[in-house]
Amino acid sequence: MSEPDPYFPTSGDPRYRVHRYELALDYRPEPNRLAGTARLSAIAAEGAAPLAEFALDLVAGFRIGRILVNGKAPHYAHRAGKLRVRPAKPLLPGAAFTVEVHWTGNPKPVRSPWGGIGWEELEEGALVASQPTGAPSWYPCNDRPADKASYQISVTTPSSYAVALGGRLLTRTVKSSSTTWVYEQPAPTSSYLVGVAISPLHQIRLDDPDAGEVPQFGWAPHPKVPAFAAAFSRQPEMMRLYQELFGPYPFDRYTAVVVDEELDVPVESQGMATFGTNHLDAGWPSERMVAHELAHQWFGNSLSVADWSQIWLNEGFAKYAEWLWSEAAGGPPARERAAKSYELLTSLPQDLRLADPGRRLMFDDRLYQRGGVTVHALRVALGDEAFFRMLRDWTRQHRHGVVSTELFLAHVRRYGPAPVEALLHEWLFETQLPALPGH
């Protein structure tokens, strides 16, 4: 049985894992009213005592209509963001079981040190931005990044709204004034990476359907379609570059959504990223965000962290992917981008330990910058041939899996001499900045 997350020990329940969620949601934007049914297919942990009780994460504001475990009504209690369920019979170690939950209420973001996260009501519609612990703001889940499952999600909403999710649209059924959208995401997905956007949107195709490329779709408010097309025009090139450098795209399609709101930062989710209208500006600041969110499909989504202390594995590689795109697209090469970030880091406090920054600093900009510079230092130490071979093997060997810093260090050992490990130790585990290699 795995351990609780060191940064969010009350999130999730390591005594079981979910391998599939089937969610049926009815959302009415005007009253911000959500009614849902969730069916979870799960497995009790091996090597433990029979499971007399287990917990799901779901914010306390929802009203629970009914719960079934293996078709039978259990005892349950719902408070403090936990739905604690006691089955009629304890679940044996390794046993498969199903949980069905019916809930209704007005979804709202979960409070966090970084503001509200999760389900966010928009001027017209809603979006989901759950990193790191916002998923329980709208559905019952085992909210741990390492607990990855497939999803089928049905959303019924007024027909004037489009529904975008990461995954393949199976059906869209219009009935009277409502439309039901059914999406399937077969690849294992962390609960915080289930993204949803519900808004009046127009769809755009970004790839060439006749070129055999990864299907890439866009959604944007109709007046913003020209600006969207301009801002995302180079995304297919990014996709081709990243497949060359990182290996095959890990999912069957990719969706970029722009909602008619300004957002602080783009929203990462599996197979999809959500941007604000303020991210449609021309130039590097917006282009690097498009590159960054696409890179997360490999680093963070296909390869998910074992726990939140490992977040540099998501953000360091996505930051470096920005610089690789710059290098390939005729902008400043990665070494110049790395040197600029290094110069910035030298002017800031050096109290961040990259491999375990602590909850307070896990989204600090220094983690992103130092993460990118660490990846560059490794590239310089290994040389391009070994470095990119290492990266492609890393994404291939752990495709749709769970990774950690220790696993990465063990992987890198196979591609370079012993000094590489000493170099990484300085960058990852010491707070003081080492010298920047190659400068």
Domains and CATH numbers, the chain: 1-198 (2.60.40.1730), 201-302 (1.10.390.10), 304-429 (1.10.390.10)
Helix (H, G, I), strand (E, B) or coil at 350: coil
At residue 439, the pLDDT reads 64
CB-CB contact of 312 with 371 (8 Å): yes
- Distance CA(189)–CA(210), nearest Å, equals 29
Kind of pairing between the strands at 63-69 and 96-105: antiparallel
- How far, in Å, CA of 50 to CA of 250, rounded? 36
Token representation of residue 99: 């949980």
Indicate the residue type of 146.
A
Residue type, 138: W
Phi, psi of 21 (to 5 degrees): -115, 135
By the 8 A CB rule, do 181 and 172 touch?
Answer: yes
Paired residues of 2 in beta bridges: none
Q: Closest Cα partner for 325 from 315, 317, 333?
A: 333
pLDDT of residue 1: 63
| Residue 224 exposed, middle or buried by CB count within 10 Å (0-12, 13-18, 19+) | middle
pLDDT of the residue at 419:
82
Quick one: pLDDT at residue 47?
Answer: 82
Copy the structure tokens of residue 48. 């433990």
* Residues 303, 288: Cα–Cα separation, whole Å: 21
**Contact call for residues 12 and 144 (beta carbons, < 8 A):** yes
Which CA distances in Å does 139 have to 34, 105, 200, 233, 352? 10, 11, 23, 35, 34
* CB neighbour burial string for 361-388, b if at least 16 within 10 angstroms, e if fewer: bbbbebbbbbbbbbbbbbbbbbeeebbb
Q: What's the CA gap between 127 and 312, in Å, rounded?
A: 25
What pairing do the DSSP bridges indicate for beta strands 216-220 and 254-259?
A: parallel
Residue-wise pLDDT for 93-131, tens only, equals 999 999 999 999 999 999 999 999 999 999 999 999 999
Tokens of 319: 């930051």
Low-confidence ranges of the chain (pLDDT < 70): 1, 439
Q: What's the token pair of residue 128?
A: 């989901």
- In this prediction, residue 3 carries a pLDDT of 84
CA torsion through residues 99, 105, 111, 116, sign = positive
H helices present in 104-206, as ranges: none
At 335 the pLDDT is 97
Do 220 and 199 meet the contact criterion of CB atoms below 8 Å apart? no
CA–CA separation, 25 and 411 (whole Å): 42
Cα–Cα distance for residue pair 5/12, rounded to 1 Å? 8
β pairing state of 33-44 and 96-105: antiparallel
Contact 152, 183 (CB under 8 A): yes
Supply 17's token pair: 């894992």
Nearest Cα to 387, choosing from 178, 246, 265, 249? 246
The residue with tokens 């390794």 is 94
Task: Give yes or no for a contact between 352 and 361, defined as CB atoms under 8 angstroms apart.
Answer: yes
Contacts of 132 (CB under 8 A, 6+ apart): 7, 8, 112, 117, 145, 192, 308, 362
Identify the CA nearest to 70 among candidates 38, 102, 97, 42: 97
Q: What is the pLDDT of residue 48?
A: 77
Closest alpha carbon to 389 in 369, 374, 411, 410 = 411
